[in-house]
Amino acid sequence: MASNSSVIRASAPKLENVDELIDSVETFLFDCDGVIWKGDKLIDGVPETLDMLRSKGKRLVFVTNNSTKSRKQYGKKFETLGLSVGEEEIFASSFAAAAYLKSINFPKDKKVYVIGEDGILKELELAGFQYFGGPADGEKKIELKPGFLMEHDENVGAVVVGFDRYFNYYKVQYGTLCIRENPGCLFIATNRDAVTHLTDAQEWAGGGSMVGALCGSTQREPLVVGKPSTFMMDYLANEFGISKSQICMVGDRLDTDILFGQNGGCKTLLVLSGVTTLDMLQSPKNSIQPDFYTNQISDLLPIKAAAV
C-alpha cells in the first residue's frame, strides 16, 4: 500500500497473540465511544470481554474527555447499556480536573471558577474544593454603563474550562480577569476537542471552542488534564503503583487515543469499531501506528467464546 512512498513505514500488525498481550498488561484503559458503544448502541461482545478481563484480575479504566457529567453521572450511561462499571473505574475529564487540583495540593481556602457544565462542579464538590460559576452564570449579562467595571474574586486560584453549551461573554470576561489579574491563577482545560457528540445526528463544536476563547483573551495556554495529555496515565501509575508499560490504551482514534497512549509510554491497541478504518491506518499519510490493531474488543475473547 505504501509502495509508491519513498520511505516504507511498517504498518501496525494485526493482534494475533491475544494471550501474550493480556498477560503483559495490568490495566486496560478504554476509550468509550467507538470502543464500548457507538452512539447509544453497545458494541457486540463488550460485556463478555469486560467480564473475561475482570476474571483474569485486570484493572479496567474507562477514559472520556466528556466533562459535562461527573463520574457518577457518567456511570448511569454504562448502567443503561447493561454494563456494570463502578464509578471509580471511570476517568472523565471532569474528574481529572479535580484530581489534578488534588495532586498539586490546591489550597482549600482558594476558589475555582468554572466555565463548564454540572460534571465539573460535582467533582470539585466531591474533592472538597470551593467553586462557583458553571451553569449558574449562563444567564448573566454585562450591563455596560460608562465606567462599568466587573468585579472579580481575588481568591480564585484556578479557572477550569470545559465544554459549556451555556457559554457567554460574562464567563469569558470573568475567567479572563481571574487568569490575568490573580497572581499565579491556574488555567486548566478538561480537553481541547474540536468536536463533541451532543447528539449523534451531527458533530458539535467541542470543548476546544471554550478553551480557544480563553486562550484568545488571556494569551495563555492551558494545562490540559484530558486526552491527549498524559495526566490521567501519570495519575493511574502513581495512584496504583503500576508501570506505564503495563497499561494498554484501547481506542478508535489515532490522533487522540493512540497518541495519548504513546505519549504516556503505554502499549496501544487500535480497534476498527469506531472512526478509523484499516485503509486509514495503513495509508502512507498516517504517521501514528499503534502496537497492534484489531476489529473490536471482543477479539480479546478466546475463539470459542467469541463464536457463541
- Please give the grid coordinates belonging to residue 122: 460535582
Q: Which of 24, 17, 14, 83 is nearest to 56 (CA)?
A: 24
List Cβ neighbours of 236 (8 Å cut-off, separation of 6 or more): 27, 29, 61, 91, 242, 247
Active site residue 109: no
CB of 214 to a second copy, least distance (A): 7
Widest Cα–Cα separation across the chain: 75
List Cβ neighbours of 15 (8 Å cut-off, separation of 6 or more): 21, 269, 292, 293, 294, 299
CB of 14 to a second copy, least distance (A): 31
- Please give the grid coordinates belonging to residue 89: 473505574
CB of 119 to a second copy, least distance (A): 15
In DSSP terms, 249 is beta-bridged to 29, 268
CB of 35 to a second copy, least distance (A): 21
198 contributes a contact to a second copy by CB under 8 A: yes
Active site residue 31: yes
By rule CB under 8 A, what string of x and - marks binding of each residue 25-54 to a second copy? ---------------x--------------
> Was 122 annotated as part of a binding site?
no
- The string over 277-288, giving b where at least 16 C-beta atoms fall within 10 Å of a residue's C-beta and e elsewhere, is eeeebeeeebeb
Judged by CB, which is closer to a second copy: 224, or 237?
224
Catalytic-labelled residue, pool 33, 137, 164, 257 = 33
By rule CB under 8 A, what string of x and - marks binding of each residue 127-156 to a second copy? ---------------x-xxxxxxx------
223 contributes a contact to a second copy by CB under 8 A: no
CB atoms within 10 A of CB 27: 20
241 contributes a contact to a second copy by CB under 8 A: no
| Residues annotated as part of the active site | 31, 33
Rule CB under 8 A: which residues touch a second copy? Answer: 40, 142, 144-150, 164-169, 172-173, 176-177, 180, 192, 194-195, 198-219
Binding residues for Mg(2+): 31, 33, 252
